[in-house]
Structure 1
Amino acid sequence: MRSAAAFLALLLCLYWTRAQGESGGVRENDITQTEVQSEILDVKATSDQTNITPDIWAELKELRYMVIQHSLELRKMEQENTDLEARLNTTENMVEELKRENTVLEARMNDSENLVKELQRENIDLEARLNTAENVVEELKRENTDVKSKSDERGVKRSI
């Protein structure tokens, strides 16, 4: 805010000095340049201040230079902002793609888990069938040995 007020004050002073130059100088009714500056800046003119003449052109050049610098910085920041927005959009697209992939992988994982549970149930059934079959085989082996031993006994009795 202060810099804007100072800038306006400098512009008014510049306008005033140009107007004085075109009119051929200061007349009795005119206010002097230092008095205008003092009024704008709320400073009372003293005898020491009447001899001070600010270099308005130098100040204007400095202000112009600052404006150019700020314009360049603004352009640079706008370019950086554009680059960051592009990167953000790319990242957001990647996140969406990864979410879709994650959904597909979760579905596949659920299918695999269900298949594993089904295979475990089948395995339990097959183990039960295997145990039953082993028991039948053992029983048949016992019956077979019993039959052999009885037939051997009959064969021994016949030979006697």
Structure 2
Amino acid sequence: MRVVLCLLLLLCGYRAQGEDGDLTEQTLEQTTPDIWAEMTALRDMVVELQVELRTMENRVMESDRKVEELKTELTVTKMYIELLQIENSGQATDLISLESRLTSTESKTSDLENENADFQTRLSDSESELVISKSRIDQLERENAEKPKVAFYTALTNAGSIGPYNTDITLKFTKVFTNTGNAYSAATGFFTAPVRGVYYFQFTVCGSSAGLKGVHVYKNSQKIMYSAEWKEHPNIRYFTNSVVLELFTGDIVYLRLPKDHGIFDNANNYSTFSGSLLFPL
């Protein structure tokens, strides 16, 4: 554009000078070399401008290429961003799921910890109860070891009938089968309490002849019980009775045959006397 404008200006000036008629041939000759010089300069300028134009065109093409590359890169980037968003959305879902599972696991862990604490408490209580139970067992074993063991079982005689007599007599049960604690004496017929306590006694009385059969139960000199039956016919008949007594150490218990009463025993051990300590006091 600059070259064209310059040429137009020169032509217009030349034309104007010719119309005025002021120029001479000498002036024209002087002016001609200047025009060619100017035209040469203008041509060179045109060449330079063409070169610059091609350079600019190349730069524009390069810019267009870079713009296309940038557009392509931008498109790829957008796609990558979308993929990342999709992936991130999936990861967010997974994260929410993981957080939910973590919360559930923490809740279960808390429940298990509470349950374990409860088990520990119950275990501690059970251990305490076990210690107490063992202590109680040890105490009972000691008490049982220290507790006197007293029991006896005897039968009267192998002689058959005893009585009736004109007076009361003390019965001596001479066949001793059990005498734990040695509290019964076959020589006297007495049971002597070794410790204060509650004792259980049982006796069986047998008769073979007609008439009265029975015994008195004595504690020391005190008559505790009278137990008897009347027999109409001479045959073997017997009865059993029992008594529970509180005795002090040294108290004696024994059976007496009342006068006019009879009693029978032989190898079959029909008439017996037994007792044991229920518990000490």
TM-score by length of 2: 0.41
The residue type equivalent to 2:8 in the other structure is: A
> Per the alignment, do residues 74 and 66 of structure 1 end up closer, same or farther by CA in structure 2, a change over 3 Å counting?
same
The more displaced of 81-90 and 64-73 is 64-73
Cα shift readout 1:59-78 (whole Å, capped 9, x = no counterpart): 43333333222222222221
**Does 2:9 align with 1:6?**
yes
**Does 2:68 align with 1:124?**
no
Find the structure with the greater CA-based Rg: 2
Task: Give the alignment's Cα RMSD to 1 decimal.
Answer: 2.6
SS at match of 2:59: helix
Equivalent residue number for residue 83 of structure 2: 104
> Per the alignment, do residues 80 and 154 of structure 1 end up closer, same or farther by CA in structure 2, a change over 3 Å counting?
closer
Q: Flag the structure with more relative contact order, 1 or 2, with Cα contacts below 8 A and sequence separation at least 6.
A: 2
Unaligned runs of 5+ in 2: 140-281
1:37 Cα deviation after fit: 4.1
Cα distance in 2 for partners of 1:9, 1:138 equals 113
Which structure carries more strand by proportion?
A: 2
Cα distance in 2 for partners of 1:95, 1:76 equals 27
The residue type equivalent to 2:98 in the other structure is: L
Cα distance in 1 for partners of 2:38, 2:129 equals 131
Equivalent residue number for residue 151 of structure 1: 130
> Per the alignment, do residues 4 and 130 of structure 1 end up closer, same or farther by CA in structure 2, a change over 3 Å counting?
same
Cα distance in 2 for partners of 1:116, 1:151 equals 50
> Per the alignment, do residues 125 and 6 of structure 1 end up closer, same or farther by CA in structure 2, a change over 3 Å counting?
same
Which structure carries more helix by proportion?
A: 1
Cα distance in 1 for partners of 2:53, 2:120 equals 96
TM-score by length of 1: 0.66
Unaligned runs of 5+ in 1: 14-35
Cα distance in 2 for partners of 1:2, 1:76 equals 23
Identity of aligned residues (%): 18
